[in-house]
Amino acid sequence: MKYVDEFRDGALAAGLARALAREVDPGRDYAFMEFCGGHTHAISRYGVADLLPPNVRMIHGPGCPVCVLPIGRVDMAIGLALARPEVILCSYGDCLRVPASDGLSLLKAKARGADVRMVYSAADALALAVREPAREVVFFAIGFETTTPPTALVLREAATRRLANFSVICNHVLTPPAITAILDSPAASRLGALHLDGFIGPAHVSTLIGSRPYEAFAARYRKPVVIAGFEPLDVMQAIRMLVRQVDTGRAEVENEFTRAVVRDGNPKAQAIVSEVLALRDEFEWRGLGVLARSALRIRPAFAPWDAEAKFGLDYRPVPDHRACECGAILRGVKKPTDCKLFGTVCTPETPMGSCMVSSEGACAAHYNYGRFRDVPVHVVGTSAPPNPDQETA
């Protein structure tokens, strides 16, 4: 397939691995964070970590919108769906499985009688409201900058049609404030020490906002950022570009994903978002806490389609499960295997935390692909412990 197979070429990957091995400084360690869960998934799925030099370490970041959604926001949606039988609550598939309070999730609320439905897009929810004029259709919107324009578009369309039975719970969050929270010294001391040499910047988010917003991080924190596509060769080339910046003492924003990302992003999409949505004063993130001006709300002009205002919904913070390490994993201070629940009590079929729900979550990615690397492999020709169950000849 054009522009896909070329970025999964095994021979090219092996060549990049050899080039990286030659270029890294053997006397130092490198620690890079891939912010986006799509990169985490690619690194695990394609075995990129196995191709990196031993002194290059990748750290998972918080870039999974399902993962950073706090329990209190899911509780808000569940409470509305259970209390109001006239409401049809719609959201994306992964969001329906996020564990909430009292052992519930949106799917389990559905089993208790709430009308909860999976949709593939914000437009699907709007179309449902048109088909069901006697019901209240509420779209539980989540995502980073990538999925924000579609939400803004359906809000504008609902206003144009005067569609009174449609509304949105807006949970859209922004990438730059999360990077700031990870890098700021006060936040770092509060959230746990973490040494980083640079970032792999998100791909789809950057198609919307461009590369310009990351320039402040490179300048203020002296941390290089390389925006990369989601294919394995994209990621490997981005790591090579980061290594070169670190070795030469540079801290700049570079764009590996030039086939889709430009410096100023998509002005038309940005304008639609700005027309319909505005910055919230603060918003709670799972793992990062309450961050100022880090999320979006619906503007007063579109208040009739703001479900939080329409139904008088209040947000109440809820602590995470005490044994779940999702918060620390999202900050990069722990790995999935550092969690006692990983792979035992907590699996994709029975998730205890949000990181195991989404396919972009660090725990789900490691469970599906990376955990096999944790199992010692017996190499032919080496001695192995005797097997007491095996008969001798």
**Which pLDDT value is given to residue 84?**
97
pLDDT above 60 (res 191) = no
269-319 pLDDT, tens per residue?
999 999 999 999 999 999 899 999 999 999 999 999 999 999 999 999 999
Q: Which of 368, 343, 324, 294 is nearest to 98 (CA)?
A: 324
| Residue 126 φ then ψ, to 5° | -65, -40
Per-residue pLDDT, 278 = 98
pLDDT of residue 374: 66
Contacts of 287 (CB under 8 A, 6+ apart): 62, 67, 68, 191, 326, 327, 328, 329, 330, 331
What confidence tens digit (pLDDT) does each residue in 21-52 have? 999 999 999 999 999 999 999 999 999 999 99
Q: Give the global pTM.
A: 0.89
The per-residue pLDDT for 376 is 54
Q: H helices then E strands: how many in the chain?
A: 17, 13
Lowest mean pLDDT among 68-77, 215-224, 337-346, 382-391: 382-391
Query: Among 139-153, 182-196, 274-288, where is mean pLDDT lowest?
Result: 182-196
Q: What are the φ/ψ torsions at residue 72 (nearest 5 degrees)?
A: -60, -35
What is the structure's pLDDT at 244?
98
The predicted-structure confidence for 112-128, as pLDDT tens digits, reads as follows 999 999 999 999 999 99
Instruction: Tell which residue, 102, 49, 127, 106, has the closest CA to residue 374.
Output: 49
- Separation CA 259–CA 124 (nearest Å): 29
| Contacts with 359 (C-beta within 8 Å, 6 or more apart), sequence order | 41, 94, 365, 368
pLDDT of 186 over the 80 cut = no
Instruction: Tell me the pLDDT of the chain averaged across its residues.
Output: 91
Q: Which two tokens stand for residue 241?
A: 């570009």
Domains and CATH numbers, the chain: 5-63+176-255 (3.40.50.11750), 67-173+265-310 (3.40.50.11740), 326-369 (no CATH)
Determine if residue 370 is left, alpha or beta; phi over 0 gives left, psi from -120 to 50 gives alpha, anything else beta: alpha
Which uninterrupted H or E stretch holds 56?
strand 56-63
324-367 pLDDT tens trace: 999 999 988 899 999 999 999 999 999 999 999 987 899 999 99
pLDDT(386) > 60: no
What is the rounded CA–CA span in Å between residue 251 and residue 214? 11
How sure is the predictor about 387, in pLDDT bands with cuts at 50, 70 and 90? very low
Mean pLDDT of 170-192: 76
How confident is the model at residue 321, as a pLDDT?
Answer: 84
Q: From CA 258, how far away is CA 220, in angstroms rounded?
A: 24
Look at residue 6 in the predicted model and tell me its pLDDT.
Answer: 85
Tell me which DSSP letter residue 375 carries: S
Q: What pLDDT is attached to residue 322?
A: 86
Asked if residue 16 lies in contact with residue 53, where contact means CB atoms within 8 angstroms, the answer is no
- pLDDT at position 188: 43
pLDDT tens digits, one per residue of 91-114: 999 999 999 999 999 999 999 999
